[in-house]
Structure 1
Amino acid sequence: MISWVWGGLLLVLVVVQIVVIWSIRRHHDPALRVDCKSSIDELMPSLSGLTLGTAVAGNQVEVHENGAFYEVLLARIGAARHSVHFETFLWKDGQLGRRLAQALIERARAQVQVRVLLDAQGSKGVGDEVTRQMREAGCHVKFFHKRALRNLGVLNDRDHRKIAVIDGREAFVGGHCIVDSWLGDAEDHEHFADVSLQLRGPIVHSLQGAFSENWAGETGELFLGDKVFPPLEAAGDILIHAVFAKPENSAPTVKILHHTAICVARKRIWIQNPYFIPEPDAIDAFGDAVRRGVDVRVLMPATSGSDNPMVQHAGHRNFEKLLKCGVRLFEYPHTLLHQKIMTVDGVWSAVGSSNFDDRSFETNDEISLSIADQALAARLDGIFEKYAQRAQEIQLQAWQRRGWAHKLKDNAFYLLNELF
């Protein structure tokens, strides 16, 4: 009898500890409201201020699609003279991973400071041999939130960012992962589509700071000096701010950015995202936008093209409500569309690592770039149109007639969507 009592008390203690840890780590999720009549390209100071950053002018942006991105990345790493900082969520051993590792190893042997930050969960398949070779060559390789007692309260918090910073003078941000499936040109189900940006100009300091945030958190090291934060002159004429902060007593800034952009749109919102599971307040904001006359379209992979069909089924749960709101939904069946892009009114873009779901907006460490540039928005809208031509637009009446098994999957997987 006594053992049962002690066992019951122990169970209660464990449950209480779990609840306490969850409540401490849980981010606040307020219902966001926006009342503004200005156009989004006039609101960059407001957008950057609300997201705890500063918009900086004088930047240059180049768009890189699909597997061609890696040739540019590897070439720029190979040209590094002082430092290479690389951060990613997903790295699996393979042809691409070994090429990247060799590029980093070569730079480390040339006395370049190489720092590599990998998410411990997403990059668990990087390979012990690859990790050992990089470390033996002098690369500093660290894993974000490894499974350990000291990380018990943050094991669900993952580093989903994709950042590379070369000599503190140029940077790459986007959706590309280090997996062989990202090679090629999205020509079939085995080769994925993605978009990343190459940046030069003062914005690179912000991206170096974003890398430093998690690097310092894992290692305690603060790097300084002109080799990592050099004086940066204007390289172009594009206004950008980086969004990545997760304040403890407010919504994460990537959520604030995307929600605000939806609320101030006046002409159109075009979204490309692989995992589109908007929260109820976002669905309401989309509906309000349509009633203002905004053309709202979302392009995503179908279950046949996705690398995780469960996520697509979870997203399906909200399709009927979105369609009734007037949102146009397009599913691409041929391969995974992994780009994370939103354009507004043909003048503003958000590009980065963030999915359009609870996990990215509430839990993960993410990075998005808020960019005011008409030419870039047109380029990104062109990518949308290219894939939309081969996509299937979902029609409300046909969607309502889908089978009971499909509906059951949609509702079941929606309950688990924050775990994906």
Structure 2
Amino acid sequence: MRMIYLVLSLAGIVVLLALSIWSIRRHRNPKLNIDCNTPIEELIPSLAGLTHGVAQQGNAVEILENAGFFRVLVDDIRAAQHTVHFETFLWQEGELGKRIADALSEAARAGRTVRVLLDAVGARKVGRSVRRQMKEAGCTVEFFHRKGIHNIGVLNDRDHRKLAIIDGGIAFVGGHCVKDEWLGSPDDGKHYGDISVRLRGPIVGSIQTAFAENWIAETGMLFLGETVFPPLAPAGDVLIHAAFVKPEGSAPAVKILHHAAICLARRKIWIQNPYFIPEPETIDAFGEAVRRGVDVRVIVPSTRASDNPLVQHASHRNFEKLLENGVRLFEYPDTLLHQKVMTIDGVWSALGSSNFDDRSFETNDEITLGICDAATTQQLDAIFERYAGKCTEVRLEQWRRRSPLHKLVDHACYLLNEVL
């Protein structure tokens, strides 16, 4: 009998701890019924304010696709005069990892201050030789949320951001990871497709702030001065704000940004995302958008092309409702398209590291840029159209006839959608 009481007491303690962690981390989701007829391009200060950011005017944006991103990044790292900050989720040992490590090591040996922040789970295969090389060269290499009792409450929280800041004056944000699959073009059916941007202008200070957030959280080390936060003169005419904050008790900024933009769309919403698992209320918001005349289209990789077929099956669970609501769905058949892009009305775009699922919106540390610029948005829409031409459009009646086994797998995988 005493043993039974002991077991029940321990079970009660476990449940209490679980409820405590849940209550600390829970937040209220934004309601997707904004009553506003103002065009999205006139609401940038509002979107920035709602997502704990500041809209910055005077920026230059360069869209970088596929392997071309790394050529530009490496060149800028090698040209650094003072500091290089690099943060990423996925880094696996290979040719690309060696190339990035070489560039970072060269910068450190040349006397630049190089800080590297890697997710402890995503970068667990970075390779000992690469880690040793960077540290011996003088890079400071840290890992986000290592496994350990001191991190037991946040082990599921991963740093999914992909960003770099050079001398506090140039920043890179997007979806590219450090793995050899990013070394080519999706046209060959073997390498992944992706999009990142190179930024100059005042917005770079916000990207530096995002890096500082997790760097300080992991190391406690501060960095100051004009080598990291220099005065930033206008470099172009693009208005941008950055969403990355996860305030206590409120939905994370990236979630608020994506959901608010859906409600504000008046002509079109085009989404490119590898992991697309919208919540039921978001699907309803897409349906409302279609009913007010918005052209809603989504490109995702097919199950065969994805690097994580379980996510695609979880996504499939919602396809029927999305199609019934008038959303057009396109599956890319050949390889993983990894870009995380949403464009609104041909004038505004969201681009960054965030997938369109609960894992990114609720749990991960992410960063998404809100870019108000017709030229940039039209470039991204052109990329959408290029890939859509190679996709298979999913049709409602055909989708309803998929096999019972396919449906069973879809529903089973969806049960895990918040942790996939």
**TM-score, normalisation: structure 1:** 0.98
Q: What is the aligned partner in structure 2 of residue 370 from structure 1?
A: 370
SS for the counterpart of 1:418 is coil
The residue identity in structure 1 corresponding to 2:306 is S
* Per-residue deviation, residues 324-362 of structure 1 (Å, max 9, x unmatched): 100000000100000000000000010000000001111
SS for the counterpart of 2:152 is helix
Q: Structure 2, unaligned stretches of length 5 or more?
A: none
The residue identity in structure 1 corresponding to 2:409 is K
The within-5 A match list for 1:248-263 is 248-263=248-263
Q: What is the aligned partner in structure 2 of residue 213 from structure 1?
A: 213
Q: What is the aligned partner in structure 1 of residue 180 from structure 2?
A: 180
The residue identity in structure 1 corresponding to 2:212 is S
Work out whether 1:6 is the aligned partner of 2:17.
no
* Per-residue deviation, residues 177-197 of structure 1 (Å, max 9, x unmatched): 000001111123420000000
Q: What is the aligned partner in structure 1 of residue 291 from structure 2?
A: 291
* Per-residue deviation, residues 225-283 of structure 1 (Å, max 9, x unmatched): 00001111000000000010111111111111111111010100000000000011111
Shift of 1:30: 4.4
Give the Cα separation in 2 of the matches to 1:107 and 1:73.
13
Give the Cα separation in 1 of the matches to 2:30 and 2:48.
19
Contact 2:58 2:202 in 1 (8 A): yes
Contact 2:65 2:194 in 1 (8 A): yes
Kindly, what percent of the aligned residue pairs are identical?
64
Q: What is the aligned partner in structure 2 of residue 48 from structure 1?
A: 48
Give the Cα separation in 1 of the matches to 2:344 and 2:209.
27
The residue identity in structure 2 corresponding to 1:109 is R
Q: What is the aligned partner in structure 2 of residue 419 from structure 1?
A: 419
Give the Cα separation in 2 of the matches to 1:5 and 1:52.
48
Q: What is the aligned partner in structure 2 of residue 138 from structure 1?
A: 138
The residue identity in structure 2 corresponding to 1:258 is H
Q: What is the aligned partner in structure 2 of residue 127 from structure 1?
A: 127
Q: What is the aligned partner in structure 1 of residue 398 from structure 2?
A: 398
Contact 1:286 1:325 in 2 (8 A): yes
How many aligned positions are there? 420
Q: What is the aligned partner in structure 1 of residue 274 from structure 2?
A: 274
SS for the counterpart of 1:323 is helix
Work out whether 1:74 is the aligned partner of 2:74.
yes
Shift of 1:3: 2.8
Q: What is the aligned partner in structure 1 of residue 320 from structure 2?
A: 320
Higher alpha-carbon deviation: 243-252 or 32-41: 32-41
The residue identity in structure 2 corresponding to 1:203 is I
Contact 2:25 2:249 in 1 (8 A): no
Give the Cα separation in 2 of the matches to 1:243 and 1:170.
18
Give the Cα separation in 2 of the matches to 1:346 and 1:8.
59
The within-5 A match list for 1:318-397 is 318-397=318-397
* Per-residue deviation, residues 137-165 of structure 1 (Å, max 9, x unmatched): 11111100110111111111111000100
SS for the counterpart of 2:187 is coil
SS for the counterpart of 1:417 is coil
Contact 1:144 1:159 in 2 (8 A): yes
Give the Cα separation in 2 of the matches to 1:393 and 1:186.
19
Give the Cα separation in 1 of the matches to 2:29 and 2:10.
32
Give the Cα separation in 1 of the matches to 2:149 and 2:18.
13
Contact 2:332 2:391 in 1 (8 A): yes
Higher alpha-carbon deviation: 15-24 or 247-256: 15-24
Contact 1:278 1:357 in 2 (8 A): yes
Contact 2:26 2:249 in 1 (8 A): no
Contact 2:32 2:285 in 1 (8 A): no
Q: What is the aligned partner in structure 2 of residue 169 from structure 1?
A: 169
The residue identity in structure 1 corresponding to 2:414 is Y
Give the Cα separation in 1 of the matches to 2:7 and 2:325.
52
Shift of 1:221: 1.2
Q: What is the aligned partner in structure 1 of residue 99 from structure 2?
A: 99
Q: What is the aligned partner in structure 1 of residue 156 from structure 2?
A: 156
Q: What is the aligned partner in structure 2 of residue 88 from structure 1?
A: 88
SS for the counterpart of 1:165 is strand
Give the Cα separation in 2 of the matches to 1:252 and 1:123.
24
Give the Cα separation in 1 of the matches to 2:316 and 2:212.
37
Work out whether 1:307 is the aligned partner of 2:312.
no
* Per-residue deviation, residues 291-335 of structure 1 (Å, max 9, x unmatched): 000000001100011000110000000011000100000000100
* Per-residue deviation, residues 69-110 of structure 1 (Å, max 9, x unmatched): 101100100000100000000000000001101111111111
Give the Cα separation in 1 of the matches to 2:52 and 2:32.
16
SS for the counterpart of 1:178 is coil
Give the Cα separation in 1 of the matches to 2:182 and 2:235.
29
Structure 1 segments of 4 or more deviating over 2 A? Answer: 1-5, 25-33, 187-190
The within-5 A match list for 1:220-235 is 220-235=220-235
Work out whether 1:244 is the aligned partner of 2:207.
no
Shift of 1:31: 3.2
Shift of 1:26: 3.0
The residue identity in structure 2 corresponding to 1:274 is P
Contact 1:28 1:248 in 2 (8 A): no
Give the Cα separation in 2 of the matches to 1:189 and 1:18.
44
Give the Cα separation in 1 of the matches to 2:6 and 2:402.
52
**TM-score, normalisation: structure 2:** 0.98
